[in-house]
Structure 1
Amino acid sequence: MAQANLLNTRTINFLELLGNGRLYRVPPYQRDYSWLEEQWEDLWNDIWELRGRRDDSHYMGALVVEAKSDREFLIIDGQQRLATLSILALVVIAKLREMADRDIEPEQNRERASGLRSRFIGEKDPASLIESSKLFLNETDNAFYQDYLVQLRKPLNPRGLCNSNKLLWDCFLYFGKQVSKVPEFESKGNLLAELLSETIARQLLFILITVDNELNAYTVFETLNACGLELSSTDLLKNYLFSCVKVSADLEALQRRWRGLIATVQQERFPDFLRYHLQCEEKNVRKQRLFKLVRNKVKTAQDAFSLMDHLEPRAELFSAILDVQHEYWIEYPACKPFVRELDLFQARQMMPLLFAAWERFELHDFARVLKLVSIISFRYSVVSRLNPNALEEYYYRAAKAVLAGAATPLAAIFQILEPIYVPDEKFEQDFSQLAFKSNSRGRKLAKYILARLESDASGRSCDPDTDPASVEHILPENPTSEWEETFPPDLWERVVERLGNLTLLETSLNRQLGNAPYGEKVVVYGDSGYILTKQLPEIAPEQWTIDLLDRRQRQFAIRALHLWRADFSSAAP
C-alpha cells in the first residue's frame, strides 16, 4: 500500500491517543458493542502482566480511523478495544471516588479521579456540570454509555437493557470485580491511579492508521486482512451505503432493511455474498474490488435502495444453499441432496449461477442445475483437486447467460461449463488414486463416496448422513507387525487412507476388529450387511495386498464414472 494513501501511520500509546482534545466517534451504523468476558479477561491479564515492568509494552493491534478534522476521527476499526479501555478507566475513577467517600485520603483521591477523568474520559461542562466524553459509540450504545457509564450512574433496570448495553454494563462490573480483588487497591489510591496513568496509558501500544476517506479505509482493511487481522469490511460497506441517504425517515427504513439482510446472510458472510451477487454481472470480482464497485454503482439514496432490492431476494437463497436444514428445502425436498453435497464439498464458486437459475427457471430445472454443479464440484475439486480459481469465470459466464435468456435449454449451461467438467479419462485415473486425510472432513467425504458406491452396488438406499455404518480401514491405521510382510512401513503410509483400503462396516463389528490381522478381519467382513464389504472375502480370501487394493479402487472408479456424470455430457447414457 502506498504511503500516499494514508495521512499517518505510527505507533501510539493509549495516553497519546486521547490527548490534545481528540474526539473519536463510532459511525452511526457500526456494529454494536460485542466483547464478552473472554476478551475482558485476556485484556486484564495482559495489563496485569505489564504492571511494575515499565520497560515492557503490549501491542493492542491496528487502530484504523478516518480524519474528519485535526481533532475529530471516525473509528473504522478498533471501537471494541477503545470502548473497553474507556470502561476500565471509568472503573478506576469510580473506585478512587469510592475511596474518597470512605474518607481514605479524600482530597488526594478526588483530585486523582478528576485528573484521570479529564485525561481519559472528558472534561466536565462548567455550565451544566455534565461530564463530557472523548468517545462516542454507535446509535444503539451511545446513549447508555454517555448517560450511565460516563456519569457513573447505575442503570435502574439492568435486566431490561438491550444486549449490547448489557454487555457494556457487564464489562464495567467485570473490571470492578477485578480491581476489588487486589487488596492494595482498597486503600492505596496512588497505586490504583498508577495502574491507569502508567500501565494502561503508556504501556498499551496501538498502530494508529489514519486515512482521509472511505476508499482508503477499505484499502487498509484489505491489506490488514491479508495480514491475518480480523476487520469488518462489512461495516465499512454499510457505512458508505448509509452515507448516501440524507433523509431521516429513509435512513430508518434502510437501517431496518439492512438489519434484516445481515440477519439472513450473517455479518461475516456478507462480503462473499455481495461478491457472488456482483459476479452475476461483473467478471473477476475480488474482495479487494468490492468497495470500489459499490461506490461506482451507488451514488444516491435511490441507488442504495435499488441495491437492497436486488440483494434481499438473493440473501435467502444464499443462506439456504449453505444450510441443508433451511426451511427453503421443506418445500423443495428434491434439492436437499445436492445442497448437502455442495456443503460437504465446500463449493461456493457456483453461487452466481444458482442466483440466476433460481430467478429464471422452474423448480425442476433449478434442481437439475444444482445437480450439475454438484457433479462438477465433485469431479473438479474433490477427486481431481484442480485449482478452484478457474471456476469463477465459467460460473460468471453461465450466470450472465441465464439472466440474459441465452442459456436455455439447460444443455446450453453445460456447454458453457464443459471446460471445468473433468473428462472421464482423467476422472477415472484420479479416482483410482483417491485418498483422504484422517480428519473430520476427510472421513465425511470417504463415507459419502462409499455410501454412494454401496447404494449403486446393492440397489438399496445408503444415506451417508443417517446410515449407522462406520468407515473401516482394511489395512489398519495403526497396524501391528503382522502386517509388515504385505505392507512395509513406507508403503503403509502411502496407502492406508486410499479409498480402496476403506469400507463400510457395522459399528459393533468395527469395534470388535480393532487392529486384528487380516485373517480375522476377513471372516467378519463376510458377515457384514454391506455388499462392498461382503465381497472382500471373494476379492482377497487370504491376505490383503497393494495389488488387491489397487484393483478394488479401479473397480470403484469405473462405477464412479456413471454415478457422477452430468445429464448433459455427450457421454451420458
Structure 2
Amino acid sequence: MIHSLLDTRTTNFGDLISNGKIYRVPPFQRDYSWNEENWEDLWQDIESLLTEQTPIHYMGAIVLQSSLESDKYFTIIDGQQRLATLSILTTVVIDRLETLIANNIDPEPNRERQEILRRTYLGDKDPRSLRYSSKLILNNNNNDFYKSNLINLREPRNIRKLTKSNQLLWKAFEYFRDRLNSLTDIIQFGDRLAEFLADTIARKLLFIQITVEDEFNAYTVFETLNARGIELTSTDLLKNYLFSLFQGPDDLESAQSQWNRIINTVRMEKFPEFLRYYLSLKYRRVRRERLFKRIKESVNNAEDAFNLLDSLESYSDLFLALGDPNDDFWSDRHETRIYILELNLFRVKQAYPALFAAYFCFSKENFVKMLKLTTTIAFRYTVVGHLNPNELERIYNQVAIDIASEQIDRPREVFERLRSVYVSDEKFERDFSVLKIETKGQKKKLVRYILAKLENHVSGKPINEETPSIEHILPESPDRQWEQEFTNEQMADMRYRLGNLTFLEPSFNREIGQKKYNIKRQKYQESSYILTQQITNDDWTPDSIARRQQELAKQAVRVWRSDFV
C-alpha cells in the first residue's frame, strides 16, 4: 500500500543536490527558522563524523514532490530547514577557499576546487549576469537574500535592517564559519576543505528521501513524520495548497492578508483543531489526519478557496472567544460569560462545532440557552460522571450538522438530540455523592466553583468564589488525634471528598488551623456561609462526611439541571 503512495530510498546530501536537480521551497512556506540550538546539534553530529566516532549520521526524512514537467525539479514538502542549512555550510567552505586564494595559497588549484564545489553543491554561473544561480530556491521572503548574499558571498550592508528569518540565514553563515575556523588542521589546506565538504558533509549525512506525486500523498506522508528541527506543519501544507489555486497577484495578495488574519486570531498551533471543528459542521467524524483530504475534496479552484477563507475568518473570532469569557467578543452578550467560564473550567471542547452552528443560526437568547444546556450536560456527564468523551463528540457532531442544515432551530430540539448524554437525576446524585476532587492546581478552581454554586443555591446570594478559603474539615495533613475516627485508608479517601469541604472566611481558617473538630465546629457557626453553618455534627467521622455529601448531592441535582427536563 505504501509504495502506491510514494517512492522512498536512503540518500545523502551529495546525491540529493547534484546531477542538475533543482529544489524549490513553496513560495508561501514557512521562513527559515533554525537557530543556534539547531546549528549546534548539527555541528556536533559533524564533529562525530570527523573524529570517526560514527561512520554515518541520519538526518531524518525529507519529503519531496516530483514535477510533472521534468524529473529534475522537486518541491520540498518537508526538509527545507535542513537543506538550507547544509547549503549555507557549503558556502562557508567555498568562502574559506576564497580566503586561501586571496592569501595566495595554492591559488590555481584552490580556484579550481572552488568552481567544482560551487557547480556540484550550489549552482552554476549564469552566462549573462555572471552571477551564480542556485540549486535550492527558498520561499518568497528568503530567496532573494539567500541568492544575492549567501550564494554570491556578499556580506549584507546592514544586518539589523534584515527580516528576522534573513538575519537567521546570515547568523547561520557566521556560526558555521566560526566553527569551521576552529578546525585548524583543515582550514589551511584546500584539498582538506574539499574533502570535508565532498566526503564528510555530502557523503556521510544521510536522508530517507520520500518522493510523492501530489499534495494529498504529501500530506499523508507528512502526518507520520517527526523530522528533525523546526519543519513544516500541517497548517503550512494546507496553506500552500490553497495558495496554489490563486493565479493573479491581486488574488494572491488578498488571500495572504486573509490567511494572516485567521492565523493571528486562532494561532498557528491551534489551527488544525479549529479547522476540525469547522469541518464538523458538514462532515461526520472528522479526524485530524483527514483534514487535508476533506479540504481537497471540496476546494478545487480559487473561488472555492476564497469561500473557505471567508468562512474560516467568520468563525475564527468565535473560536478564540469560546476559550475566554473576558473576550471583547462577548461585550454585548454579558450573560454568556458565566457559561463560557464553565465551558473552559470543565475543559470540554466536544461541543464547539454545535456552538459554532448555534451562534450563527440561533437568536441571541437561544444561543445563551444552548450554552447553558451545554455546560449542564458537561458537568453531569464529564466532571461528575467521568463518562466516555468520544460519545459526547459523536453526538455534538451530529447536532452541529443538524443546526447548520436547519433541521433543528431551537435549544429544546437540541436537548432532545442530546437526551442520551444527559445523565439522569438518579445517576447524577449517586455519582455526586462519592465525588472527590483534589484542591490543588486547576482542580482547586473547580472545587471553588462547585461550592460557590451550592452556597448560592441555599443562600440566594451571589458568591465571589475567590474570596473564601476552602476548609478541609478533616485536614489535608491530619495529626494523630484524627486516628480515633479514621483509618489511614479512610483519611486518604475522605480528605478531598466534597462532603469534607466547605467555604470559610480566611481569618477563621487561619485561626482554627489543625485544631480539634469540636473547636472548628464552634467557628463554623460564626461563618457567613450557610453550608458551613449547617455543620453541627457532634463528631466528624467517615459517616458524617458521607451523609453531608449525600445532602449536597440532592441539592446538586437541582442546581445542575436542564431547563428542558
User: Do both share a fold (TM > 0.5)?
Assistant: yes
The answer to whether residue 551 in structure 2 is matched with residue 555 in structure 1 is yes
The answer to whether residue 520 in structure 2 is matched with residue 522 in structure 1 is yes
1:564 corresponding residue in structure 2: 560
Question: Quick one: distance in 2 between partners of 1:178 and 1:500?
Answer: 65
Most deviating of 191-200 and 29-38 = 191-200
Question: Quick one: distance in 1 between partners of 2:107 and 2:516?
Answer: 84
Deviations 1:333-370 (A, max 9, x none): 22222222222222222122112211122222212212
The alpha-carbon deviation at position 416 of structure 1 amounts to: 1.2
Deviations 1:213-257 (A, max 9, x none): 111112112333799997522222222222222233222222222
Contact 1:180 1:186 in 2 (8 A): yes
Distance 1:96 1:554, change over 3 A: farther
1:346 corresponding residue in structure 2: 347
Question: Quick one: distance in 2 between partners of 1:519 and 1:559?
Answer: 25
Report the AA paired with residue 428 of structure 1: E
Distance 1:293 1:100, change over 3 A: same
Question: Quick one: distance in 1 between partners of 2:120 and 2:523?
Answer: 76
**1:238 match: secondary structure:** helix
Question: Quick one: distance in 1 between partners of 2:174 and 2:396?
Answer: 52
1:531 corresponding residue in structure 2: 529
Distance 1:138 1:525, change over 3 A: farther
Distance 1:554 1:189, change over 3 A: farther
| 1:397-412 equivalence runs, <5 A | 397-412=398-413
Distance 1:564 1:303, change over 3 A: same
Most deviating of 484-493 and 157-166 = 484-493
Distance 1:450 1:135, change over 3 A: farther
1:66 corresponding residue in structure 2: 65
Distance 1:8 1:452, change over 3 A: same
Question: Quick one: distance in 2 between partners of 1:95 and 1:399?
Answer: 63
Most deviating of 272-281 and 483-492 = 483-492
Distance 1:18 1:565, change over 3 A: same
Question: Quick one: distance in 2 between partners of 1:512 and 1:42?
Answer: 56
| 1:118-517 equivalence runs, <5 A | 118-179=119-180, 196-224=197-225, 232-436=233-437, 440-464=441-465, 467-469=466-468, 471=470, 473-475=472-474, 477=476, 483-484=482-483, 486-504=485-503, 516=514
Report the AA paired with residue 461 of structure 1: P
Distance 1:491 1:92, change over 3 A: farther
1:24 corresponding residue in structure 2: 23
Report the AA paired with residue 28 of structure 1: P
Distance 1:191 1:557, change over 3 A: farther
Report the AA paired with residue 559 of structure 1: Q
Deviations 1:244-289 (A, max 9, x none): 2223322222222222222222222222222221211222222232
Distance 1:425 1:139, change over 3 A: same
**1:325 match: secondary structure:** coil
How many residues were matched structurally? 563
The alpha-carbon deviation at position 201 of structure 1 amounts to: 3.6
Which structure's CA Rg is the greater one? 2
Give the TM-score normalised by structure 1.
Answer: 0.86
**2:225 match: secondary structure:** helix
Most deviating of 96-105 and 58-67 = 96-105
Question: Quick one: distance in 2 between partners of 1:428 and 1:327?
Answer: 37
Contact 1:526 1:533 in 2 (8 A): no
Contact 1:298 1:304 in 2 (8 A): yes
Contact 1:218 1:236 in 2 (8 A): yes
Question: RMSD of the TM alignment (CA)?
Answer: 3.5
Report the AA paired with residue 522 of structure 1: K
Distance 1:227 1:45, change over 3 A: closer
Contact 1:522 1:536 in 2 (8 A): no
Report the AA paired with residue 563 of structure 2: D
The alpha-carbon deviation at position 104 of structure 1 amounts to: 6.0
Question: Quick one: distance in 1 between partners of 2:151 and 2:562?
Answer: 64
Contact 1:54 1:203 in 2 (8 A): no
Contact 1:66 1:211 in 2 (8 A): yes
Question: Quick one: distance in 1 between partners of 2:119 and 2:511?
Answer: 72
Report the identity percentage: 47
Deviations 1:56-76 (A, max 9, x none): 544433222111143321111
The alpha-carbon deviation at position 411 of structure 1 amounts to: 1.0
The alpha-carbon deviation at position 52 of structure 1 amounts to: 0.9
Report the AA paired with residue 60 of structure 2: G
Report the AA paired with residue 88 of structure 1: L
The alpha-carbon deviation at position 328 of structure 1 amounts to: 0.7
Contact 1:525 1:536 in 2 (8 A): no
**1:224 match: secondary structure:** coil
Most deviating of 247-256 and 296-305 = 247-256
**1:90 match: secondary structure:** helix
The alpha-carbon deviation at position 22 of structure 1 amounts to: 2.5
**1:223 match: secondary structure:** coil
Question: Quick one: distance in 1 between partners of 2:195 and 2:506?
Answer: 63
Most deviating of 183-192 and 243-252 = 183-192
Report the AA paired with residue 210 of structure 2: I
Contact 2:361 2:409 in 1 (8 A): no
Distance 1:230 1:86, change over 3 A: closer
Question: Quick one: distance in 1 between partners of 2:448 and 2:459?
Answer: 16
Distance 1:309 1:542, change over 3 A: same
Distance 1:469 1:21, change over 3 A: farther
Question: Quick one: distance in 2 between partners of 1:480 and 1:101?
Answer: 82
Report the AA paired with residue 300 of structure 1: N
Distance 1:566 1:18, change over 3 A: same
Most deviating of 260-269 and 9-18 = 9-18
The alpha-carbon deviation at position 479 of structure 1 amounts to: 5.0
Contact 2:81 2:230 in 1 (8 A): no
The alpha-carbon deviation at position 305 of structure 1 amounts to: 1.4
Contact 1:513 1:521 in 2 (8 A): yes
Question: Quick one: distance in 1 between partners of 2:478 and 2:117?
Answer: 67
Give the TM-score normalised by structure 2.
Answer: 0.87
Deviations 1:386-418 (A, max 9, x none): 221212332233223323434233211111112
- Unaligned stretches of 5+ in structure 2? none
Distance 1:188 1:399, change over 3 A: same
Contact 1:469 1:507 in 2 (8 A): yes
The alpha-carbon deviation at position 27 of structure 1 amounts to: 0.9
1:13 corresponding residue in structure 2: 12
The alpha-carbon deviation at position 161 of structure 1 amounts to: 2.3
